[in-house]
A and B are shown apart, each in its own frame.
Chain A
Amino acid sequence: EAQVTQNPRYLITVTGKKLTVTCSQNMNHEYMSWYRQDPGLGLRQIYYSMNVEVTDKGDVPEGYKVSRKEKRNFPLILESPSPNQTSLYFCASSPRGGANTGELFFGEGSRLTVL
């Protein structure tokens, strides 16, 4: 089954404790992206990757890191989480990026709480 898989789905952590949210897609998509969703703010892009070893900042990259060493994986790293990073995070992939970004396939979401 074609899917985007995120882990963990739920996480409660404390300020400053490094964490990684994994994202994996099995559709051989070139493009992958991370979004955070907050009430009243909609979906905001954190980072995206056009292909392996190619990543770029989205609208809200501060406090996050990503890597794209393999086509299928695009982990989101919070080196020193803070309470303002409490949010619902979505990973998404697409067959292509660029100006005509194709249909985005979203993961189930990861709800992160930083105390």
Chain B
Amino acid sequence: GQQVMQIPQYQHVQEGEDFTTYCNSSTTLSNIQWYKQRPGGHPVFLIQLVKSGEVKKQKRLTFQFGEAKKNSSLHITATQTTDVGTYFCAGPREGSQGNLIFGKGTKLSVKP
């Protein structure tokens, strides 16, 4: 069945280093969403990408949607301790009206 995979599962960085998480779908996605979950918190929406090849920026965060609409990435420049958390990608399940399938997430820790 359809899968949404994220790598890496964990990433430990020194504050100031860059960080990238990758999301790969086994099928073409109509759109992809990214969420951040702080430790002990709930997922919070970051962004939605819809167009092939789309690139969006939010301050130090850069989101990309692949040309084939099967992969996406989130890049954080110069990480800060406030970036700590788990980052999830999510896309619509093929053939489903309202089933959103999430990747297992990338857990980011930042050493000050």
Contact = CB atoms under 8 A, between A and B. Distances in A.
Interface residues of B, number: 23
Interface in B14-59: 30-31, 33, 35, 41-45, 48, 50
A75 B100 CA distance: 19
Nearest to A90: B42
A41 B42 contact: no
B103 interface: yes
A56 B98 contact: yes
Contacts of B50: 100
Contacts, number: 70
A109 interface: yes
B102 interface: yes
A99 interface: yes
Interface stretch (A12-20, A42-50, A77-85): A42-50
A59 interface: yes
A31 interface: yes
Nearest to A91: B42
Given A103-B48, A109-B42, A50 B97 contact: yes
Given A90-B42, A104-B35, A45 B104 contact: no
B66 interface: no
28 contacts: A33-B100, A35-B102, A40-B104, A41-B104, A42-B103, A43-B88, A43-B90, A43-B102, A43-B105, A45-B101, A48-B98, A50-B98, A90-B42, A90-B43, A92-B43, A97-B97, A98-B98, A100-B31, A100-B50, A101-B92, A101-B98, A101-B100, A102-B48, A103-B48, A104-B43, A105-B45, A106-B43, A108-B42
Given A42-B105, A58-B99, 12 more contacts: A31-B98, A43-B43, A50-B97, A90-B42, A97-B98, A98-B92, A98-B98, A100-B31, A102-B48, A103-B45, A104-B90, A107-B42
Interface of A: 31, 33, 35, 40-45, 48-50, 56, 58-59, 90, 92, 97-109
Interface of B: 30-31, 33, 35, 41-45, 48, 50, 88, 90, 92, 97-105
